[in-house]
Structure 1
Amino acid sequence: MSAPLPPAAALRRIAFLLERAREASYRVSAYRTAAAVVDGLGAEQLDLKIRTNTLKDLKGVGPKTAAVIVQAHKGQVPEYLASLEEAYAEQLPAADDVAAFRAALKGDLHAHSDWSDGGSPIREMAEAAIALGHEYLALTDHSPRLTVANGLSPERLEKQLDVVAALNEELAPFRILTGIECDINPDGSLDQTDELLGRLDVVVASVHSELRAPRAQMTERMLAAVANPHTDVLGHCTGRLVIGRKQRNGEQKPRPESEFDAEAVFTACVENGTAVEINSRPERLDPPRRLLSLAVELGCEFSIDTDAHAPGQLDWQYNGCERAIECGVPVERVINTRSADDLLAWTEG
């Protein structure tokens, strides 16, 4: 049986195990949401809520999550967690190892706001990152080609840079890094002007179209993008969806990996100083373990990101940390363990 954990850590551990069991995403979200609520309480507030039996009055805490909080607060292993550990945890890293890896991260380099297809204003995303203990958050809304995601035209991106500059004055010392998730065009070019890309702190380059292109064609496309001097991070490299997700027009089915020469692409990442993203979204978990292990072997650097489209999703970095441990990613090769100044020195180098 696992050792007792603090309430928030116990809730997150349950979420990890439910994800591994491919339980419904709403169940996973319930435990992550409750963990975020607990994180927002001081020790005395939490103790008062438990003593007065008012935990369930908190938005985001229900009967099941409240029971976990109470048992963990008493120094016990919650009954539900114990049952899940017994059923699913054999191959998982220890919770304290995951927590330690997560604690080394100083920020998140892939997040979206309501300027593209995210659901919340930039300020709310930043405040959520601050609450999680981040020192910075890269704002990486989509580029113009992805019209379905309300991608930013050059004019809108210009305006966003002004908004971010004003927010940074208010939120200092926390820093919103300017950025973009830039579409990799079919010819391997990036979907934004060179002038604007040169002004951004972080450029995440991702393939979102023609995902079933032939292996050779996809390889050349990705090699060109990785070699682009503006590219800092190769986003969700296979484009897979391991579980479906709800869309406005119905349920999206799982999606297989794109085919490309991973050894060639990861070697190019090493040669060009481009980090490979470990995407923490539960439906992506990209790259797959075999490719992540290959990237480690070839000497890649990494960025553990959430690809968050809502404030609560910024807590998903635990997923990426878990996979990093499983695949032997050295923490010193994760670029978002660096301070903002050191990270920007790297992206500008």
Structure 2
Amino acid sequence: MAEQTPGEQGTGEQAYDDGPVAALRRIAFLLERGREDTYKVKAFRGAAAAILPLGEEAVAAAVADGTIRRVEGVGPSTATVIEQAVRGQRPDRLARAEAEHGGPLVSGGEELHALLRGDLHSHSDWSDGGSPIEEMAFSAIELGREYQVLTDHSPRLKVARGLSAERLARQLDVVDAVNDHLAGSGFTLLKGIEVDILDDGGLDQSDDMLDRLDVRVASVHSKLKMEADAMTRRMVAAVRNPRVNVLGHCTGRLVTGGRGRRAESTFDAQAVFEACAETGTAVEINSRPERRDPPTRLLELARDLGCLFSIDSDAHAPGQLDFLAYGAERAEAAGIDPDRIVNTWPKQRLLEWARS
């Protein structure tokens, strides 16, 4: 739709020509980025999904004849966004979301953030994420990523709808289809998993399935209060497994947020990080604000022991993909050489490291 002058739109209104679907998606992204309540986000993503199949002309006609609010999935607030966008006005709700959540997430780390080519830890609605695989991929492209690793959970984590070997195999076909659709875009969705580290240090997925993946993040999700010696043996065994590329959120702590607080797991960090350094397993700098894992003292220990790192969003929604800014700020403050951060590497170098 062509831009209209402020006079044509009404007093104080800004021109907008990206369309209603883009406006709804952008509002949802900003709300996720700002860690707003999930129910608010779902309203905007649901409305975008509802009107997308209708096509621009049908949506414009429904706005013109006043029936857009009858479309299933469109409520009063989302209808207002659609109506304003169709009329070439910048939606008020979009302007408010940009003002509240569109600015920098953190001060510092900008140079390192700009070097990050991708993200090795993200979830979709196949496990406990909130959005389809395609939406996560499109948002990664919009953020300028060259690659994104899809790492839904493994089967033992039933509360997060972890993927059985059969479901994971089906997901790999979907990833192939997404990449076929995006051919020529300069972006690749990589095949991955966040695999549970079992009590004995084994991995919660078959070797055959793990071998079909590009990148494997291994994390402890159960028995987080395990006795320190046993937890150390458990984690060292996992990072020495040649199929493990990244040790995810190593202490399991929660420092803030809706899930409350959780103390760190106790283990011999020097032994674990020495094993990471010896095997080339990257220590994840988990960028979720409620995790900030590893704590600064352990981040600095891993740095001093020569570990590689991966700055990951652990995103469960598209807007959370932008959380990499938090991890970049922490890594830069710790003085970590960017070349030791594996997701500053080009895709081919990353894949060669992961396969080795």
**Do these two structures clear the TM 0.5 threshold for a shared fold by scoring above it?**
yes
Conserved? CA contact 2:109–2:331, under 8 Å: no
Conserved? CA contact 2:32–2:318, under 8 Å: no
Q: How does 1:126-205 map to 2 (within 5 A)?
A: 126-172=137-183, 173-205=186-218
Kindly provide the amino acid, as one letter, of the partner of residue 337 in structure 2: P
2:223 matched to 1:210? yes
**For 1:64 and 1:117, how far apart are their aligned partners in 2?**
27
1:289-330 Cα distance to aligned partner (Å, 9 max, x none): 010011000000000000000000000000000100111111
Structure 1 residues 261, 159: closer, same or farther in 2, change over 3 A? same
Q: What displacement does 1:26 show?
A: 8.4
Kindly provide the amino acid, as one letter, of the partner of residue 181 in structure 2: E
TM-score normalised per structure 2: 0.73
2:271 aligned partner: 264
1:235 aligned partner: 248
Kindly provide the amino acid, as one letter, of the partner of residue 309 in structure 2: F
Question: Any idea what SS the aligned residue of 2:235 has?
Answer: helix
1:303 aligned partner: 310
**Runs (5+) with no aligned partner, structure 1:** 1-24, 31-53, 73-80, 85-91, 246-251
Rg larger in structure: 2
1:283 to 280, 283, 290: 290
**For 2:346 and 2:32, how far apart are their aligned partners in 1?**
34
1:102 aligned partner: 113
Kindly provide the amino acid, as one letter, of the partner of residue 165 in structure 2: P
**For 1:230 and 1:104, how far apart are their aligned partners in 2?**
26
Q: What displacement does 1:244 show?
A: 3.3
Identity rate, percent: 58
Q: What displacement does 1:63 show?
A: 7.8
**For 1:347 and 1:124, how far apart are their aligned partners in 2?**
25
Kindly provide the amino acid, as one letter, of the partner of residue 325 in structure 2: Y
Question: Any idea what SS the aligned residue of 2:113 has?
Answer: helix
Q: What displacement does 1:60 show?
A: 4.0
Structure 1 residues 174, 64: closer, same or farther in 2, change over 3 A? closer
**For 2:118 and 2:240, how far apart are their aligned partners in 1?**
25
Q: What displacement does 1:61 show?
A: 3.2
2:154 matched to 1:120? no
**For 2:340 and 2:32, how far apart are their aligned partners in 1?**
33
2:341 aligned partner: 334
Question: Any idea what SS the aligned residue of 1:176 has?
Answer: strand
1:111 aligned partner: 122
Aligned residues: 275
Q: How does 1:36-115 map to 2 (within 5 A)?
A: 57=91, 59-62=93-96, 65=99, 95=107, 98-115=109-126
Question: Any idea what SS the aligned residue of 2:218 has?
Answer: strand
**For 1:218 and 1:335, how far apart are their aligned partners in 2?**
26
**For 2:324 and 2:306, how far apart are their aligned partners in 1?**
22
Question: Any idea what SS the aligned residue of 1:204 has?
Answer: strand
Structure 1 residues 169, 59: closer, same or farther in 2, change over 3 A? farther
**For 1:189 and 1:155, how far apart are their aligned partners in 2?**
20
Kindly provide the amino acid, as one letter, of the partner of residue 241 in structure 1: L
Question: Any idea what SS the aligned residue of 2:222 has?
Answer: coil
2:280 aligned partner: 273
Structure 1 residues 115, 28: closer, same or farther in 2, change over 3 A? closer
1:233-280 Cα distance to aligned partner (Å, 9 max, x none): 0000000000132xxxxxx32000000000100000011110000000
Question: Any idea what SS the aligned residue of 1:347 has?
Answer: helix
Question: Any idea what SS the aligned residue of 2:148 has?
Answer: strand
Q: What displacement does 1:170 show?
A: 1.0
Kindly provide the amino acid, as one letter, of the partner of residue 143 in structure 1: S
Structure 1 residues 64, 201: closer, same or farther in 2, change over 3 A? closer
**For 1:138 and 1:63, how far apart are their aligned partners in 2?**
28
Question: Any idea what SS the aligned residue of 2:114 has?
Answer: helix
TM-score normalised per structure 1: 0.74
Q: What displacement does 1:64 show?
A: 8.3
**For 1:200 and 1:207, how far apart are their aligned partners in 2?**
19
2:238 matched to 1:225? yes
1:253 aligned partner: 260
Question: Any idea what SS the aligned residue of 1:142 has?
Answer: coil
**For 2:197 and 2:315, how far apart are their aligned partners in 1?**
20
**For 1:223 and 1:166, how far apart are their aligned partners in 2?**
36
Structure 1 residues 157, 63: closer, same or farther in 2, change over 3 A? closer
Kindly provide the amino acid, as one letter, of the partner of residue 198 in structure 2: N
Kindly provide the amino acid, as one letter, of the partner of residue 122 in structure 1: I
Pairwise CA RMSD of aligned residues? 2.5
Structure 1 residues 59, 228: closer, same or farther in 2, change over 3 A? farther
Question: Any idea what SS the aligned residue of 2:256 has?
Answer: coil
**Runs (5+) with no aligned partner, structure 2:** 1-30, 37-88
